[in-house]
Structure 1
Amino acid sequence: MRQPIVGTGPEYTVGADEVPWILGTQLTEQCGPLARAAEDSRVLLIEAHDFARRMPYHHHKLTLVFAAMRQFGDRLRADGYDVRYIRADTFGAGLERFFEDNPEATLVSMRSPSYGSERRFRELVAAAGGAVRFVENELFVSTRRAFDEWANDDGSFKHEPFYRWMRRESGVLMEDEEPLGGEWNFDEHNREFPPDEWRAPPIPSVEHDDRTAETAAWVAETFDTWGRTDGFRWPVTREQARDLLDHFVDERLPEFGPYQDAMRRDDWAMTHALLSSSLNVGLLHPVEVIEAVENAYHEREHVGLASAEGCIRQVLGWREFVRHVYRHTMPELATANALGAPRDLPEFYWTGETAMRCLADTVDDVHTRGYAHHIQRLMVLANFATLWGVEPSELNEWFHATFVDAYHWVTTPNVVEMGQYGHGAFATKPYVSSANYVDRMSDYCEGCRYDENAGSGADACPFNALYWDFLDRNETPLRSNHRMGLMYSHVDTKRESGEMDRLRDRVDRLRELAANGEL
C-alpha cells in the first residue's frame, strides 16, 4: 500500500457494509478505502456531468477525466469488484440512485483537496438519506497533520524551508543529515537555453483504445468545450501512466535539469515529464515518481544530480507546498487581489490572436494539448496578465478551464499567489519581468513583430512598457519591499528623465490596440 512518507499515514479498516467511493481524482488501488476493501466488494464511482458545463473546459481535460474514470471502472470489474458506476447530471442525483439500491451502505471516501468539497458531499449524502465517512487523502507525500505541526513551529509559509524539511523527513536525496552534493537546491543549474543543434528526446505516444475514442467523441458532442478535439495524448490508465513515467526516467530525465526553464517554439514539451495530469487524477502516486527519479540518479551514470533534484523539487517540494498552503489560506485565497488589479482577461487568451509571438504560441500550445510547461505558465501567461492588471480570479478561472492538470487546489496558489502576487501567503515579490527574461529563456523573440529591446514606440515589445508601468502604478505596496529596491531606483531614473511619460503613453496605446483586437 502506498502512503505518505512524511507524517504517519492513517490506519483504518473498511467493513462489509462500507463501500469505497472513488472520486475522479482518486483513481487508484494503491491506497485509500479501495486498498483496504475486499477484492469482491462494492465500489461506487459517480460520473457527474454538470460541472463540465460550468465553463468552457478544454476538450482534452474532460476527455481525460471521463475516460480515466470509465477505464478505471472497467478495470475494477475485471478484477472482480462489484462496481456501481452511475452517470448522472449531479453528484446529488447519483447519490440518491445509489442509496435507493443500497440503503444499508456507508460510503468511505478519501477527502478531496478542493476547498469545501467534504462539507458539500456530506450535505448531499445526508439529503440522499445515506451515510459517509471521510478519511485522509493518501495521494500525497506528506500528511496534513505533519505539515500543520511544521507550519506552527515555523510560523510562515516559505517553500525553501519546507522543501528542506521534507527532504530531511523523507530522506530523499540525503546522506545522513546533509543533502547529496552539499546543496539543497540546484535551481541555478536549471536555467540554461539549449544550443540550436540540441534536440529533446522523442515524446512517447499514448495508444488509446475504442473506449477512450468513444469518450472523446461523446465529450465533443455533449459539452461546449474549448481547445482542439483531436490529438488527445494523455494517459487514462495506470499502465499508460507507468509507461510515461518509465520513458521520462529512461529518456528525458538526464537532460531535464539544464533546460527545464527554457522555451522553444518548435518543442512544446522540451524534456518535461508530462506526468502532472496522471498524478492529479491518481493514476500515479507522487512517492513512486520520487522513488523512480531518485533510483535513476543512484543507478544510472547519465542522470545528474541537478536533473534528479530539479524534478524531485517539483513533486516532493512545490506540489506538496501549494496543496497545504491552499488548505490554510482558503477561502480568502480564491478572491485575493492584493494589488487591486481591476482588468478583464484579454480576449486573446482564448483566441490566441495577438502579434506577440510568446503569447500567441503559448496559447496555441494550451489550445492544442491543454498543456504548457511551468515557465510558460509563470513567465509568459501569468507575467503578462499581472503586468496588464488582470483581476486574479479571472486568470485563475482560465487556467482551471484550459489545462488538463488543473484543479482548484492546484491553480489557486500557483496563479493567484505565485503568478499574480494576489495574497501574500508565500510570494516574496511579484514574479514579473520585461521582455528581457523571455528573450533570454526562449526563441520567441526571433522574428516577432515587436522589438524586445525597445520600451516605447510602435514596434516596442509590450512587456517592456507594461513592466515599468506596473511598477509605477503599484509603487505604494511594492517600493518598501526590500527585493524591489533596485527596480525602484530605475523607476526614479525614468521619471527624472521623462521616459516614464513615454512609457505611460505606450501603455495607453497598447490598451487601445487590445480593445480593437490588434495587439
Structure 2
Amino acid sequence: MTAAWVLGDQLSRERGPLADDPDRVLFVEASDFARRRRYHPQKLTLVFAAMRNLADDLRADGVDVVYERADSFGDGLDAYFDAHPGDELVVQRPATHGAADRLRELVDARGGSLRVAENEQFLCSPAAFDEWVDDRDGDAYSHEAFYRWMRRETGYLTTDGDPEGGAWNYDDQNRETPPDDYESPALPDFEYGEHVPEVREWVAEEVDTWGDSEGFGWPVTREHAERALADFLENRLADFGPYEDAMFADDWHLDHSLLSAALNVGLLGPREVVEAAISEYRERDDVPLNSVEGFVRQIVGWREFVRHVYRREMPALADANQLGQSRDLPPLYWDSDATEMECVGSAIERVHDRGYTHHIERLMVLSNFALLYGASPQALNEWFYGGFVDAFHWVVTPNVVGMGSFGTAAFTTKPYAASANYVDRMSDFCAGCQYDPDSTTGANACPFNSLYWDFLTEHEDALRANHRMGLVYGHLDDKRDAGDLAAIRERADDVRSLAESEDL
C-alpha cells in the first residue's frame, strides 16, 4: 500500500498527496523537533495542534490515520513499519534544504521506500524558476523582474501582459502612517477544542522555550484559516496598502493579513489566497489597486522568490557573512525590559507575546538594529527561526541572512541599514521614547544614529564602491571633514556596552 506521509508544514487536503484521497496517512509528531532550539511556544502549539486537528478530520472521513508520537522521526518510522511492513510512503518534497534526503535515508534504513512528490504549496515550480534564471541576461536574481514575470505568467492584475493601472507596483502610495485616532478592525476569535490546550500544557512542562504561550490566537484548522482569510479580505484589505509599512505603538497588527503562518504550514495555499484578494478587489469599490497589488506582491513575488533563492543558494546561504560581523545578539532580544528604545522594545515584546511582528518591524527595527550593532547573520537567523510562529528555514534564512544582515550579495545589492530617521518617519514610536531621533551623540541620542554612521565607517572598504551607497558616503565624508566622526563612534561603542549590560 502507498501511504501519504504528512509533515507539519504540509497540512493540506487540497494540495499534495492528501488531495489524491489516500487510504492511509502517516503523521509523525517528533518531540525532538520541539527541543532542537528555543522555539516560541506558540510555534510548537500551532504546528502540533494543527497536525492533530487534521488527523482528526481525516479519521472522521474514514481515512486510516497512523499518528505516531515519538521522540524522533526515526522512532516514529520504526513503529510505523513494524505495523505496516512493505508500505511505500509518499511525501511532498520539503522546502527545507536537505530534508528530503534525510527522510529518504530514514525510510531506507528501515526497509521501506519513499517517493518524493513535487511540493504543491507554491505557485512557481523549481523547473520554471530555473528556466527563468537561465534565460536572464545580467543578474541571475532580480525580485522585481521575477515579480513581473510571475504576474504575466499567472495573469494576476494584468491585461495582455501589461500591469493593471499602468504600474507594476504602487510603493509610493503605501508609505502612509495612520492618524493618531486610528483603530484597526478587531481580529477573529477561534474555538480550539482539546488540542491547543493539550499541546500548550505539554510544551510548558517538557520543552525549553522563549515567549508567552497564553496569547495564542492562530488558525490551527482549515476552517480557522478560511475564516482568517475571509476576515482579512472583508475588514483589512482595503487599508492594507497605505499602512503596510507603518508601525504603531498601540496596534501590533494594523491591517496586515496575519496569514503567513497558515500559508507556511499548508492550511492555506497561495493561489487561493491571491485569487480571493483579487476577486474582492473586483467586487468592491472601496478596495484600492495599491492595496491588492501590495498584497499580491508579498505572496506571488517575494514569498515565491525567496523560496527559490534559498533552494538554489543553500547550503552556502546559511553560513554567508560577507561583512564578517561576529557579535552575539545583545540580551535585549530576549528581554524587552533591557532597553528603553520604544521601537526595539515594542518589537521584542510583540515577538515574545505572539511570535509575530510585521515585515517592516522585522527588517527595519529588529534586523536593522542587529546589523548596525554588528551581530552575526547566523545569530540573528537563529533568533528569528526560533521566535516566530511563521518561521521555517526556507523563508527565514534568505530574509535574515540576505535582506536583514546583508550576509550575501547573491540577491541583495545593498544593506538595509537606516538611522532613526526611517523609524521616526514610519511610526509613532519616537514621540514616546526617551531617545532623541534627531541627535547622534550624547546620552539621549537615539542609538540607531551613532550605530548607523559607525557601521558605514566600519565597512567603508566594502560598501563605498556600491553605486547605491554613494549619497550616504557623501554625508559620511561631511561628518569626517567636520571632525564629528570620533565622537559618533565613541557613542556607538557606548551604545553597544549599554546593550551588553542590559541598560540601553
The interval holding the TM-score normalised by the smaller chain is over 0.9
Q: Quick one: distance in 2 between partners of 1:326 and 1:166?
A: 18
Q: Quick one: distance in 1 between partners of 2:421 and 2:441?
A: 15
Residue 433 of structure 2 corresponds to which residue in structure 1? 448
For residue 37 of structure 1, report the CA deviation from its aligned partner: 3.4
Residue 369 of structure 2 corresponds to which residue in structure 1? 384
Q: State yes or no: 1:242 paired with 2:226.
A: yes
| Residue from 143, 152, 164 that aligns with 2:125 | 143
| Residue from 471, 474, 499 that aligns with 2:456 | 471
Alignment of 1:61-460 (within 5 A): 61-154=43-136, 156-352=140-336, 353-460=338-445
1:389-432 deviation per Cα after TM superposition (whole angstroms, max 9, x unaligned): 10000000000000000000010000000111111111111001
For residue 162 of structure 1, report the CA deviation from its aligned partner: 0.1
Q: Quick one: distance in 1 between partners of 2:262 and 2:498?
A: 40
Give the CA RMSD over aligned residues. 0.8
For residue 213 of structure 1, report the CA deviation from its aligned partner: 1.6
Q: Quick one: distance in 2 between partners of 1:340 and 1:231?
A: 38
Q: Quick one: distance in 2 between partners of 1:401 and 1:158?
A: 29
What TM-score, normalized to structure 1?
A: 0.96
Where do 4+ consecutive residues of structure 1 move more than 2 Å? none
Q: Quick one: distance in 2 between partners of 1:296 and 1:211?
A: 33
AA in 2 matched with 1:451: D
For residue 210 of structure 1, report the CA deviation from its aligned partner: 2.4
For residue 197 of structure 1, report the CA deviation from its aligned partner: 2.1
For residue 262 of structure 1, report the CA deviation from its aligned partner: 0.2
Q: Secondary structure at the match of 1:483?
A: coil
Q: Quick one: distance in 1 between partners of 2:62 and 2:349?
A: 43
Structure 2 residue runs of 5 or longer lacking an equivalent are: none
Q: Quick one: distance in 2 between partners of 1:506 and 1:52?
A: 41
Q: Quick one: distance in 1 between partners of 2:339 and 2:221?
A: 37
Alignment of 1:48-63 (within 5 A): 48-63=30-45
Q: Quick one: distance in 1 between partners of 2:188 and 2:51?
A: 23
Asked if the contact 1:108/1:133 (under 8 Å) is kept, the reply is yes
For residue 508 of structure 1, report the CA deviation from its aligned partner: 1.5
Which piece of structure 1 moves more, 200-209 or 18-27?
200-209
Identity across matched positions, percent: 56
Q: Secondary structure at the match of 2:68?
A: strand
For residue 51 of structure 1, report the CA deviation from its aligned partner: 1.6
Asked if the contact 1:264/1:444 (under 8 Å) is kept, the reply is yes
Asked if the contact 1:417/1:424 (under 8 Å) is kept, the reply is yes
Which piece of structure 1 moves more, 205-214 or 341-350?
205-214
Q: Quick one: distance in 2 between partners of 1:55 and 1:66?
A: 16
For residue 55 of structure 1, report the CA deviation from its aligned partner: 1.4
Asked if the contact 1:20/1:37 (under 8 Å) is kept, the reply is no
What TM-score, normalized to structure 2?
A: 0.98
| Residue from 487, 494, 499 that aligns with 2:472 | 487
Which piece of structure 1 moves more, 509-518 or 482-491?
509-518
Q: Quick one: distance in 2 between partners of 1:469 and 1:142?
A: 41
AA in 2 matched with 1:476: D
Q: Secondary structure at the match of 1:446?
A: helix
AA in 1 matched with 2:369: F
For residue 225 of structure 1, report the CA deviation from its aligned partner: 1.2
Q: Quick one: distance in 1 between partners of 2:15 and 2:489?
A: 56
Q: Secondary structure at the match of 1:517?
A: coil
For residue 447 of structure 1, report the CA deviation from its aligned partner: 2.1
Q: Secondary structure at the match of 2:281?
A: helix
Structure 1 residue runs of 5 or longer lacking an equivalent are: 1-16
Q: Secondary structure at the match of 1:440?
A: helix
1:72-112 deviation per Cα after TM superposition (whole angstroms, max 9, x unaligned): 10010001100000011110111111111111100000000
Q: Quick one: distance in 2 between partners of 1:226 and 1:349?
A: 11
Aligned length: 501
1:149-179 deviation per Cα after TM superposition (whole angstroms, max 9, x unaligned): 0011115111000000000000001111111
Q: Quick one: distance in 2 between partners of 1:198 and 1:513?
A: 35
For residue 211 of structure 1, report the CA deviation from its aligned partner: 2.4
For residue 446 of structure 1, report the CA deviation from its aligned partner: 1.2
Q: Quick one: distance in 2 between partners of 1:58 and 1:412?
A: 17
Q: Secondary structure at the match of 1:112?
A: coil
AA in 1 matched with 2:112: G
